[in-house]
Structure 1
């Protein structure tokens, strides 16, 4: 699959902010792995990270956000990738590349210590976090549907295809993410993503015709 574009250089202030955010996330993960999500408090997290409670709330609105934060911007990345794909590319291929941006952020992102996998496993196994994750996916579906409609000249409100295609793409993402998580990171996420979209391709590549191409009633 196509490599994800390199990220732009970050400033010293951004590095410092990311460091504090990482320390808080790492502290939260350590505590939650040991005590369970519900038992851990913000006070425990800040004590473990060595920062103040005020600092915590500058970065996160709640302890749920500590865990979910690194997934929050995936929707924008997927939409940007879909918008950047060649206009003559089959929808299944364009959507596969878009979903891979999010999957790669989970499988390869953050660092190589296994923290990304632990975050994903915690989210999928904790009902409160899973609910927050699904809230994010609702916005991602709207964004992908809007972009898919734009690429094909369809109306995202009147035509069925854009939302169905976006929903199918995110179902593939969710299925691959869970399979990768359940395997403890052993299964190749790129190969799983390719397999998922091979299943979906016949449906995704049969889009509704443009409004101006439909037969008159």
Structure 2
């Protein structure tokens, strides 16, 4: 996710005091240039969607605002819908990568909290850019459907990673249930944050949510 992977100071270091893991860097000048263009196209498109509405924005507008040709846009994305699809896919990739990086002895509740906190930290750190986009996704029936579709995929990925960490059967009850609980917290926090209800910091909200979930996540016996 372009906006989420450009993590602010709280993304990992602010959550657990560790220095953030360095993001993988493209190995060649051409790859770095492609990444810069992709990032610019993504952020430009998302902001146009947020300010004008998804349906009102055209590919021509996105390309012009980003300072590239329409042909260049199609080198990176199949359609304007593809921009949002990649944005959402990035959230899931960030969560799974963080879960995989957590210490093996860490309780499931702590590992899952850190995992779902990665995109939430980015949202909080860059609220002026991400909040309009999140609101657009949550308030548009078509985009919300895509978001929920991606969440179903995230649940499977997190469940598989969690099963591997704990040495459990991925087809058992606990891994998908625990992953579902973590994503339910993520979804609830994202919605409350985007509505502007109460706590303005999504990390504070998700910490409160996991304080409620931790006994169930960490107290599960063998299946």
SS in 1 for 2:170: coil
2:11 aligned partner: none
Q: Give ranges in structure 2 of 5+ residues lacking alignment.
A: 1-14
Cα deviation for residue 89 of structure 1 reads 2.1
* Paired residue secondary structure (2:41): helix
SS at match of 1:199: helix
The answer to whether structure 1 residue 129 and structure 2 residue 146 are counterparts is: no
- Of residues 59-68 and 137-146 in structure 1, the stretch that sits farther from structure 2 once superposed is 59-68
What are the Cα deviations for residues 69-115 of structure 1, in whole angstroms up to 9, with x where unaligned?
3332232332232223233322111111111122223333xxx4721
Task: Name the counterpart of 2:208.
Answer: 195
- What pairs with 1:1-217 in structure 2 (closer than 5 Å)? 1-2=15-16, 3=18, 4-10=20-26, 12-108=29-125, 112=126, 114-157=128-171, 159-183=172-196, 187-209=200-222
For 1:56 and 1:100, locate their aligned partners in 2 and report how far apart those are by CA, in whole Å. Answer: 31
Number of aligned pairs? 206
Does the Cα contact within 8 Å between 1:96 and 1:193 map onto a contact in 2? Answer: yes
The structure 1 segments of at least 4 consecutive aligned residues displaced by more than 6 Å after TM superposition are: none
Structure 1 gap segments, 5+ residues each: 211-217
CA distance in 2, matches of 1:173, 1:192: 9
> Would the alpha carbon gap of residues 118 and 185 (structure 1) be closer, same or farther in structure 2, given more than 3 Å must change?
farther
The structure that has the greater radius of gyration is: 1
Q: 1:198 to 1:185 in 2, by over 3 A?
A: closer
Asked if the contact 1:67–1:119 (Cα under 8 Å) also holds between the matched residues in 2, the reply is: no
Coordinate RMSD, CA, aligned: 2.5
Structure 1 residues 150 and 29: CA distance shift in structure 2, 3 A: closer
- In the TM superposition, what whole-angstrom CA distance separates every residue of 1:9-60 from its partner, at most 9, and x where no partner exists? 4554344323323433344345434432112222332233332222111111
> With structure 2 as the length reference, what TM-score do the two structures score?
0.79
